[in-house]
Structure 1
């Protein structure tokens, strides 16, 4: 009985290589990685190109009842009260969960331009903004911004000391990756 030589690169439980050992197709489509964008002090922003028209992406993010589908932080839940299409001045409430604690956020839409941007403010003053810039008819440059420059200076300092700016950066990257992956 012959014995086969041991695999020189043993598999790990999280190894993504195909079991057959066959290479993945070189042309396999995948989402691009979000890239950091410098938009100013006390703002965290990342951008990615998504294979979908700007109007379609805006419609998804301008509907707070669908935010949980994209949220990469794991904090946004399904229960929402308020409009299904945000316009400036609209108020809505979103069920959230962070550090195992459930709570509800009362938010106000501060800007909405169909196919271009949607933004809402938290009671603490910080804002979340999504911008949609058409690349062509079927692709859009999407930028998500956590903007705490609107918050009182002491609130911004607390965000930084608790590293919430960094935590939100990870959530933004995950949200943009989820959004792009929906349109592969």
Structure 2
């Protein structure tokens, strides 16, 4: 895992074409299996991610959240099939559709190494998180092993392990 100020990333080469990896990442129903922290529970919105600005909701769990269960709303901010996909995470505090974003995002960059192998880099960036949030949350909010583990889960999923 590489750590730069307010950003961490990990990379893995997977013996799968970039198009297949991208299709899995663009399917929100696969995200719980890829995650590995146990926080991502289930995708509420099941449509494939196809355009910048698209929203998709995920049911989440974290023991530090009130009642444990909560929901996030992700907004696709990068979509360049089959090379890159990313989303920023937010929420709907009043349940009225007025979204707020915390300043962090997830991004996957896919680099074909051969017709059947792809180097994938997963990045978590919290550089835009305001101090009002940093005062209450530690970043990154997961252990250093999370990103490499997540890539290994992705590899197992696309290989059918």
> What does the per-residue CA deviation read over 1:96-150, in whole Å, with 9 as the maximum and x for residues that have no partner?
1111711100111111010111110112110011111111100000111110012
**1:127 maps to which residue?**
105
Counterparts of residues 52-63 of structure 1 (less than 5 Å): 52-63=16-27
Aligned length: 145
**1:71 maps to which residue?**
35
- Could you tell me how far 1:63 is from its partner in structure 2? 1.4
Q: Relative to total residues, which structure has the larger strand share, 1 or 2?
A: 2
**1:111 maps to which residue?**
78
**Aligned match for 1:102, one of 69, 81, 96:** 69
Is 1:37 aligned with 2:2?
yes
- Could you tell me how far 1:181 is from its partner in structure 2? 2.8
- Could you tell me how far 1:168 is from its partner in structure 2? 5.0
- Equivalent-residue separation in structure 2 for 1:93 and 1:179 (angstroms): 20
CA RMSD after TM alignment: 2.0
**2:96 maps to which residue?**
none
TM-score of the pair, normalised by structure 1: 0.71
**Aligned match for 1:151, one of 110, 126, 129:** 129
**1:170 maps to which residue?**
145
Unaligned runs of 5+ in 2: 90-100
> Which of structures 1 and 2 has the bigger CA Rg?
1
**1:27 maps to which residue?**
none
**2:97 maps to which residue?**
none
